[in-house]
Amino acid sequence: MALDVGHSLVAPGAISARGRAEFEFNRDLAREIRERLEHQGVKLRVIGEDGAADRLHDRVRLGAGAVFFLSIHHDSTQASNLLTWTHEGVERPYAPDRFAGFSLFVSRKNPQTARSLACASMIGERMLAAGFTRSMYHAEGVAGESKPFADRANGVHFYDKLAVLRGAAMPAVLFEAGVILNRDEELQLADPSRRTRMAQAVADGAVRCLESLSSEARGEVRRVSK
């Protein structure tokens, strides 16, 4: 399995309501997910943990050969939704309260859309069971969103244009842990014990996904050998 740490030191992604780069949130969460997956015996390739993966093409190349590709991110919202506040003497943008929760994305341009969706649903289901809440705003029909639900109950959306998902040959899912522009959720996402619980939920979902992919593959082998 390939575990992709979203963004890099040079292009750090979103900046939180308190000025911390998304890449740092992604790296911290991915590290915990990695520990849990390795503990469960998953053979893992981690991409971009050093912050040096600046080209999307390289991420896809580094993930080649994996049976499942999971990219870890933290979320923002459209710039037009943001308000400003002053934190420690610096004026910074933040997102209103309704922009909150985790989201999962799959691309219909990925050659394995159905398997991608099945895996995203398994991760979303484990996240909900662990007490986390899914976002709703990505499905709104406004400019920059309009990412329809693929599995509304489990927080999975179609986001066809996402290059890292589209470019992958294997089932691929992008996970947004929560909205770091949301001032309350940023604090929650930075909380180590909550992060550990989230990492466990994501790892549990990923393990279920890998099990279903491998049992499916065994089934295909049997059919072929008849």
Task: Name the minimum Å distance from CB 176 to Zn ion.
Answer: 7
Q: Which is nearer to Zn ion, 5 or 122 (CB)?
A: 5
CA distances from 13 to 55, 61, 154, 209 (A): 13, 21, 25, 27
Q: Which is nearer to Zn ion, 6 or 178 (CB)?
A: 6
Outline where the chain has alpha helix (H). 22-39, 56-62, 113-129, 163-166, 183-189, 192-225
Which residues, 6+ apart, have CB-to-CB distance to 50 below 8 Å?
A: none
Dihedral pair phi/psi, residue 147, rounded to 5°? -105, 95
Q: Which is nearer to Zn ion, 6 or 63 (CB)?
A: 6
Task: Name the minimum Å distance from CB 205 to Zn ion.
Answer: 19
Outline where 45-173 has alpha helix (H). 56-62, 113-129, 163-166
Chain contacts with Zn ion (rule: CB under 5 A): 6, 13, 73
Task: Name the minimum Å distance from CB 22 to Zn ion.
Answer: 5
Q: Which is nearer to Zn ion, 11 or 153 (CB)?
A: 11
Task: Name the minimum Å distance from CB 14 to Zn ion.
Answer: 6
Task: Name the minimum Å distance from CB 71 to Zn ion.
Answer: 8
Distance CA 183, CA 192 (A): 17
Q: Which is nearer to Zn ion, 39 or 161 (CB)?
A: 161
Residue nearest to Zn ion (CB): 73
